[in-house]
Structure 1
Amino acid sequence: MELPRGMKDFDPEELYQIEYVREKFLETAQIFGFSLMDPSPIESLSTLEAKSGPAIREEIYFFKDKGEREIALRFDFTVGLTRYVASQKSLKLPAKLGSFGGVWRYDEPQKGRYRFFHQWNIELFGKPSLESESEVIEFTSRLFEKLGLKNIVIEINHRKLVESFIRKIPQTKSSFVDDKILADSFRLIDKVAKKSRDELIKEYEESLGHQFTQKLLDFASIKGSPEEIEKKIDVSSIESWDYLKRLWNSLHNRGISNIRINFGIVRGLDYYSGTVFEVFDDSSDLGALAGGGRYDALTEAFGRNDIGATGVAGGVERIILTMKDQGIENKQNPPRVSVLYVNDEMLPHAMSLASKLRQAKVPTLVDLVGRQLKKQMDAASESMFSIIVAPTEFAEKKIVLRNMKDGKESKINLDELVSNPKSYLQL
């Protein structure tokens, strides 16, 4: 039997790595005051289309249920969290919410991304402000620090800045920039990191014009600090440049220095309305590890013109691949103790002891299939300690404690071990 294309099983080691990222995410969320919730994994198709339009059907799993209703599997957490906040008229603002879990996308499977994968996500709802955006970006930087990742850079930009530049390019195919030219321009910029310059010129010169396309590509290649960018291009008349500089200064004030302005970051087409950013391992070509920005247009689509929103989401499997590439290993802790028994007569006593140790919160394994002592010992080789329950010692209310690292053994009073395992098992 085979799984559907793009799906996979997550084995114990993979799931342990996912749980490790989840643990660090939860720690960071608590530090920053984000409350966790899990929006419904199933939404009405119309709700998802409110975010991305009817074209989203090509990228998601959707179907009719038994009541002939069109529904779909969530493809991110942003839609569900925004729908929830928009429906809570009495919700105290600002609201800081986060989620961690699985999402489904009908994309072409690629490295680090199956059709079912895991995301972490935070959203900050309330009055739009530069500091809200700075807060979300700082959270992102601190989370990657907590995960131990190196060479992480957060590239920031502003959608209105890009639009302002586009509208100032002399037109060759049209007398003014209409919605189609603007949309095509954003699509071109969004593909800069994925395709070569020649490929993009060939793809867009017919709709945008050769000279217009060249200027867009030159613009999208500009990156660096504010000082470096001001030496490359006249930004005096470009809308939102001052805003982007103030965001830069706010982040530096928070101690976030792994940032870079990149005019080639636009984050899709549909609902981002201001600041946008993406996170990369600067030493890898794996692609973005996380991305986000301001998306007031989505809260408006759900009928809340009074709420702004800024958020970020990260791909967990892609982050784990990056950790592996950087040599960051998070191995499962071996079992603390294995309880062994010499013969069948000692088996009930071994089971009883294992249960008592577990009640004392000691991770404990015990053989369940009646293997010989030697095979039990082999199976216990990865434990820190083995406790051998043997007739002679048990008659004296003692057990044999064996350190599996150095092989040293000692006889321990059974009752003392049970009543105070920390003193013997280095807990």
Structure 2
Amino acid sequence: MSLPRGMKDFETDELSKIEYVRKTFLEICKTFSFNLMDPSPLELVSVIEAKSGPTIRDEIYFFKDKGDRDIALRFDFTVGLTRYLASQKSLKLPAKIAAFGGVWRYDEPQKGRYRFFHQWDLEIYGKPSLESDAEIIEFTSKFFSKLNLSGVIIDISHRKLVESVVAKVFQSTDSGLIADILRAIDKIQKKKKEEILKEYEQKGYPTDKLEKILEFSKIKGTPEQVEKQFDVSGLDAWNEIKLLFSSLKNRQVENVRINFGIVRGLDYYSGVVFEAFDTTSDYGALVGGGRYDSLPKAFGRDDLGATGVAGGVERIILSLEKQGMKKIDSSPTVSVLFVNEEMITPAVNIASQLRQLGIATDIDLVGRPFKKQIENASASKFSVIVAPKEYSTKQIVVKDMSDGKETVQTIDSLLSNAKSIFNL
């Protein structure tokens, strides 16, 4: 028996790392005053299509339910959160929402991205503002700092600016043409320039104009550096980028740069867009986000702007592991051992009382010999040994498993001073 292609079982070590990322995420959410939500894992296919159009069916898991409705598994958090926020007419704005959990995508499985994976997500809904965009980017920067992940750069661009450059080069405002060329820019990170040129030549696009756009997409740097490389005069969105960078500087966010090669593949983005990369690896974007004011409109809210970001947890863990992330110790603090069968009942009682105190405690469940219990307790920090001689005077032996040192404690003393005895 095997799993469906693209699925996997998550073992203890990987789940411990996912939990580490989750706890860090929730800690930063609290710092930034984001409220946690868990949108439904099931959506109507029509709701998901409101974001990405009918072609999204090729990338999602969907099925007919018993009511003959087209149902899809959660593709991301943005759709569910936007659907929910759009329905809350009396919600106080701006609304800052966070989510963390699993999503399903019918993509080709790859390193760090199975067809089911974990994602963290932030959204800010309300009146559009560059400060909201800056807040999302600052969170992203601080989150990676808190994870101690070094070498992360956040590449920022602006969809309207790139669209205006494409329109000028191709001398066309046709939305289909512009969207097609944006997809070519999006592919430059994954494909060779020659492959893209050949593909678009077959579609009838002039090679010289496409080459100009691909060269434009290579421009990176600070606002001052970009102004020396490219004529930005007459581009309205350029002022927005400069104001955004000014806000980020004020927020002490330093690991950012302009990168006109960032456009994000989804058509609903309408303003600032960005992706974060680990420059020490080649895993691709760790997070992606931007402004998408058009999506709330698809749910009937013309008055609601939106900006957000989402990150792939497993891919972030790959970067952490490459930079030396240690295995997260999930061993129990204490193992309670019994010398013989007569000591099983008092040993179980002591283990239960330690657990009530919130101390991670393990005990043998199948009556193994004492020698085998000692072997199995080697990963614990301490062992509590319940033996007939000591127990006859209501005492036990506490053994430090790191150096083998043993002390005798009364049971009452153990239970009243357990955290001190176990250095917690």
CA distance in 1, matches of 2:173, 2:211: 16
Q: Which residue does 2:36 correspond to in 1?
A: 36
1:111-190 equivalence runs, <5 A: 111-171=111-171, 176-190=172-186
SS in 1 for 2:3: coil
Q: Does 415-424 or 398-407 show the bigger shift?
A: 415-424
Q: Which residue does 1:51 correspond to in 2?
A: 51
CA distance in 2, matches of 1:280, 1:422: 42
Equivalent pair of 2:179/2:267 in contact (CA under 8 Å): no
For each residue in 1:53-79, what CA deviation from the matched residue of structure 2 results, as whole angstroms up to 9, or x when unmatched?
000000001111111111111100000
For each residue in 1:217-246, what CA deviation from the matched residue of structure 2 results, as whole angstroms up to 9, or x when unmatched?
111011111111111111112231111011
AA paired with 1:371? R
In structure 2, the gaps of 5 or more residues are none
Structure 1 residue 170: deviation in Å? 4.9
SS in 2 for 1:327: coil
Which one of 365, 371, 381 corresponds to residue 374 of structure 1? 371
Q: Which residue does 1:210 correspond to in 2?
A: 207
CA distance in 2, matches of 1:19, 1:155: 27
For each residue in 1:56-114, what CA deviation from the matched residue of structure 2 results, as whole angstroms up to 9, or x when unmatched?
00000111111111111110000000000000111110000110000000000011000
Equivalent pair of 1:278/1:289 in contact (CA under 8 Å): yes
Equivalent pair of 2:16/2:330 in contact (CA under 8 Å): no
Q: Does 412-421 or 365-374 show the bigger shift?
A: 412-421
Moved over 6 A (4+): none
Which one of 341, 349, 353 corresponds to residue 352 of structure 1? 349
CA distance in 2, matches of 1:366, 1:183: 62
For each residue in 1:15-62, what CA deviation from the matched residue of structure 2 results, as whole angstroms up to 9, or x when unmatched?
111111000010011110000011111111100000000000000011
Q: Does 78-87 or 204-213 show the bigger shift?
A: 204-213
TM-score (norm 1): 0.98
CA distance in 1, matches of 2:41, 2:291: 23
CA distance in 2, matches of 1:423, 1:388: 18
Q: How many residues align?
A: 423
AA paired with 2:183? R
Equivalent pair of 1:164/1:239 in contact (CA under 8 Å): no
CA distance in 2, matches of 1:27, 1:170: 47
AA paired with 1:264? G
Structure 1 residue 269: deviation in Å? 3.4
1:300-319 equivalence runs, <5 A: 300-319=297-316
Q: Which residue does 1:239 correspond to in 2?
A: 236
CA distance in 2, matches of 1:152, 1:370: 51
SS in 1 for 2:407: strand
Structure 1 residue 422: deviation in Å? 2.1
1:8-407 equivalence runs, <5 A: 8-171=8-171, 176-206=172-202, 207-407=204-404
AA paired with 1:241? W
AA paired with 1:188? A
For each residue in 1:134-162, what CA deviation from the matched residue of structure 2 results, as whole angstroms up to 9, or x when unmatched?
00000111111111100000000000000
SS in 2 for 1:289: strand
Structure 1 residue 268: deviation in Å? 1.3
CA distance in 2, matches of 1:162, 1:236: 13
CA distance in 2, matches of 1:71, 1:414: 57
CA distance in 2, matches of 1:127, 1:409: 65
CA distance in 2, matches of 1:269, 1:403: 57
Identity of aligned residues (%): 61
Structure 1 residue 4 corresponds to structure 2 residue 1: no
TM-score (norm 2): 0.98
Structure 1 residue 330: deviation in Å? 4.8
Query: Over aligned residues, Cα RMSD in angstroms?
Result: 1.0
Structure 1 residue 332: deviation in Å? 2.2
AA paired with 1:90? S
SS in 1 for 2:285: coil
AA paired with 2:180? D
CA distance in 1, matches of 2:321, 2:194: 34
AA paired with 1:8? K
Structure 1 residue 333: deviation in Å? 4.1
AA paired with 1:32? F
For each residue in 1:368-412, what CA deviation from the matched residue of structure 2 results, as whole angstroms up to 9, or x when unmatched?
111111100000001111111111111111111111111111111
CA distance in 2, matches of 1:378, 1:108: 44
AA paired with 1:272? Y
CA distance in 2, matches of 1:170, 1:355: 73
Structure 1 residue 331: deviation in Å? 1.1
CA distance in 2, matches of 1:296, 1:423: 54
CA distance in 2, matches of 1:266, 1:170: 18
AA paired with 1:179? S
CA distance in 1, matches of 2:35, 2:357: 31
For each residue in 1:162-195, what CA deviation from the matched residue of structure 2 results, as whole angstroms up to 9, or x when unmatched?
0111111154xxxx34122111111101111001
Distance 1:294 1:4, change over 3 A: same
Structure 1 residue 363: deviation in Å? 1.1
CA distance in 1, matches of 2:19, 2:320: 14
